[in-house]
Amino acid sequence: MTDFIEKGTCKLSIVIPCYNEEKTLKECINRVLEIADNNLSLEIIIVDDHSTDNSYSIAGEIKRNHPGIKILRHEKNLGKGAALRTGFKYASGDYVAVQDADLEYDPNDLKRLINPLVEGKADVVFGSRFLSTGSHRILYFWHSIGNRFLTFLSNMFTDLNLSDMETCYKVFRKDVIQAIDIKENRFGFEPEIVAKVAQMRLRVYEMGISYYGRTYAEGKKIGAKDGLRALFCILRYNAHKAPIPIQFFLYLIIGGLAALANLVVFLVLISFGIGVNISAPIAFIIAALLNYLLCITVLFRHKAKWSSIMEILSYIMVVAVAGILDLGITAFFISLKTNPATAKIIATISVFILNFMARRFIVFAEPPAGPWRPQIPS
């Protein structure tokens, strides 16, 4: 095992979120304390997320033997992400690491993960359970498949090439993690932090780690509900900065839903005896509004470039131009003796692409991502 790089003493803040871990907390802390040496000093921050067992009192007992340990407690249970958010705020080390309070991860691996940071090569280092040749407990097949699927999906959106997005072991430069505004309270923290790290264009490294997973009977907490939340978080925190092909695919879905709404509203109005000259514009306007709402809730960020009013006005302008172009392209190809259906299909495809580009680069345009630079105090 490669040990800690000898470049003077560095301080590592280890944030330990804890919820009902009375069986493992003490041993976990003892294992963490063992990795300190002449080159590596530790700051241990235990964040008790309003445990209902004896975890908090055990943490107090540990602190009596090791006064340097910080203990923070939530007044109500909020989730792992919230506990980490609290711990990161109080971290004072050169680097900050995440350590779960169970015994699934080996703290000795942190001494290797910190190397690229100390060497100045990395801003963030992730530990991967899928790269390591070390010992691994064999558990749930479908759980591992779900993990790999979420990692694959996250990579598509972030353009990173991670092998284990959901890993607990993440080590950051302190100024990096304290600059990130964490929103998620539960296990959605994992895809959120990966998304925001990617958008900051940080130097990301990944290293293999050991893994000693536990069963649900032994206290494992993440479940199917958290997997669905992870899917939502991948979309929520990545879509507005995703590569253009991914954004275009999402816009295909949004455009398809808007087109379906256009057709349904039109047919409903016609069925009530409302004329085409009224039904068609109403259906078009409703579809355009649905398109806009889906864009700002799923794909693009609201007020990314403009104020609310200017964003709506620019959107209306784009829709108006698209409508004119649709009519013009259709009429042009019909004048060339093209079959009307073919002419309409050509116009629809052309306008659809132009619609997407206008939304991406005009209505919801954002400044380019990264690279992030730390703020220098004035």
Question: What is the model's pLDDT at position 102?
Answer: 87
pLDDT tens profile 283-325: 889 999 999 999 999 999 999 999 999 999 999 999 999 889 9
Question: What would the pLDDT profile of 330-339 be if each residue is shown by its tens digit?
Answer: 889 989 988 8
pLDDT band with cut points at 50, 70 and 90 for residue 2: very low
- DSSP codes, 296-345: IIIIS-TTSSS-HHHHHHHHHHHHHHHHHHHHHHHHHHHHTT--HHHHHH
Residue 1 scores a pLDDT above 60? no
| pTM for the full predicted model | 0.86
Domain boundaries along the sequence of the chain: 10-240, 244-363
165 contacts 189 by C-beta, under 8 angstroms? no
pLDDT band at 247 (very low <50, low <70, confident <90, very high): very high
pLDDT value at residue 270: 87
**H-helix or E-strand spanning residue 230:** helix 224-238
**What pLDDT shows up at residue 12?**
97
Q: What dotted CATH number matches 10-240? A: 3.90.550.10
What pLDDT is recorded for position 138? 59
> What is the rounded distance in angstroms from the CA atom of residue 347 to the CA atom of residue 334?
11
Please indicate whether residue 133 or residue 160 has the higher confidence score (pLDDT).
160
